[in-house]
C-alpha cells in the first residue's frame, strides 16, 4: 500500500514542486493551502496519512495552531508531523520542539534529505503502531487483575513509576495518589505492564526515550506509557530502566 502524505503550504510553487517530487518517490500526496483546509482534508480521509508535512507561516491557520489542533484529535495525534519552513532561528526550532513536533526541516532543502527524514519517520511510526497493537492484545491477558467493580476508581488520574531492580525485577517506586490509599493494585498493574513491555519490545528498546498510548478496554480508560533509562553506576550496564504510566 502506498504511504499517504498530507502536505500543507500556502506557496503554490513550493506546494506543486514538493508534491511532484514526493509522488516521484512513490508517495500519495494530499495538499492543502493552510491549516484550516488541512483539517478539513483530514476529516474527509477514510484513513489518516502516514505523515503530515506543514509550513508554519500560512493564512487562516498557521502551522503551530494546525499542529495543536491535530494533537487534540485521538485519531490524528500519533501521526508523525514535520515542519517544513523558512523559519530557521533557534527560537523557532525550540518552540516547535516544545510543542512536540517530530522534526523541523528548513527551506531550501535537498530532496534526498527530505525523503530520508520522511522514510525514517514513517517506518518508525509503523513499528510503534505494530507494537501498540501487540501491546493492547497482550494486555487482555493481564486485565483480569483489574476487576470490573474497581473501574470507578479510575475516575481520577493515576500516575506511577516502575523501575527495574536487579534483584526483585520490576518494582513500583512512586505513585499518585498515594499507593496505600489506592482502591486498585497499582503495583501489580505496573509490574504487569513492565513485563509486557519488555517481552514485546526487548530491553534494548528502552535505551532511547519512547512513549505509547494504549487502551485498557475493560475499564474504559487510556494509559500513556513512557519508557526511558537513567544513568546509575550502581546497576549493571550503568543504566537503570524505568517506566512512567499515566492512567486517565
- Supply the range of the domain harboring residue 170: 140-247
Chosen domain end from 106, 136, 166: 136
Chosen domain end from 78, 109, 136: 136
CA nearest to 185, candidates 224, 217, 225, 144: 144
Taking a C-beta distance cutoff of 8 angstroms, is the pair 235, 203 a contact?
no
| Same domain for 23 and 108 | yes
| Same domain for 86 and 189 | no
CA nearest to 73, candidates 225, 210, 213: 213
CATH classification at residue 221: 3.30.450
CA nearest to 164, candidates 243, 219, 57: 243
Write the pLDDT tens digit of every residue in 53-96.
Answer: 999 889 889 988 999 999 888 889 889 999 887 766 667 667 76
Rounded to two decimals, the pTM is 0.62
Chosen domain end from 136, 156, 184: 136
d(CA 71, CA 58): 18
d(CA 29, CA 19): 6
Domain count, the chain: 2
CATH classification at residue 55: 3.40.50.2300
| Same domain for 131 and 161 | no
Write the pLDDT tens digit of every residue in 206-220.
Answer: 555 567 777 766 567
Amino acid at each position: 500500500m502506498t504511504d499517504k502524505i498530507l502536505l500543507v503550504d500556502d506557496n503554490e510553487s513550493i506546494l506543486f514542486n514538493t508534491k511532484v517530487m514526493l509522488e516521484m518517490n512513490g508517495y500519495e500526496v494530499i495538499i492543502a493551502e493552510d491549516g484550516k483546509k488541512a483539517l478539513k482534508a483530514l476529516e474527509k480521509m477514510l484513513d489518516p496519512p502516514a505523515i503530515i508535512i506543514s509550513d508554519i507561516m500560512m493564512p487562516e491557520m498557521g502551522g503551530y495552531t494546525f499542529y495543536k489542533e491535530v494533537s487534540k484529535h485521538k485519531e490524528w495525534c500519533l501521526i508523525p508531523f514535520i515542519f517544513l519552513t523558512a523559519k530557521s532561528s533557534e527560537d523557532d526550532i525550540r518552540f516547535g520542539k516544545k510543542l512536540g513536533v517530530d522534526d523541523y526541516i528548513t527551506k531550501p532543502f535537498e530532496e534526498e534529505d527530505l525523503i530520508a527524514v520522511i522514510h525514517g519517520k514513517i517506518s518508525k511510526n509503523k513499528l510503534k503502531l505494530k507494537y501498540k497493537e501487540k501491546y493492547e492484545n497482550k494486555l487482555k491477558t493481564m486485565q483480569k487483575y483489574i476487576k470490573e467493580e474497581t473501574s470507578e476508581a479510575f475516575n481520577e488520574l493515576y500516575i506511577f513509576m516502575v523501575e527495574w531492580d536487579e534483584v526483585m525485577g520490576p518494582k513500583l517506586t512512586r505513585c499518585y495518589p498515594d499507593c496505600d490509599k489506592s482502591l486498585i493494585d497499582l503495583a501489580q498493574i505496573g509490574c504487569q505492564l513492565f513485563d509486557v513491555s519488555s517481552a514485546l519490545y526487548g530491553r534494548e528498546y528502552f535505551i532511547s526515550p519512547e512513549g505509547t498510548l494504549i487502551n485498557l478496554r475493560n475499564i474504559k480508560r487510556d494509559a500513556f506509557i513512557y519508557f526511558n533509562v537513567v544513568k546509575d553506576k550502581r546497576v549493571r550496564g550503568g543504566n537503570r530502566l524505568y517506566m512512567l504510566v499515566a492512567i486517565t
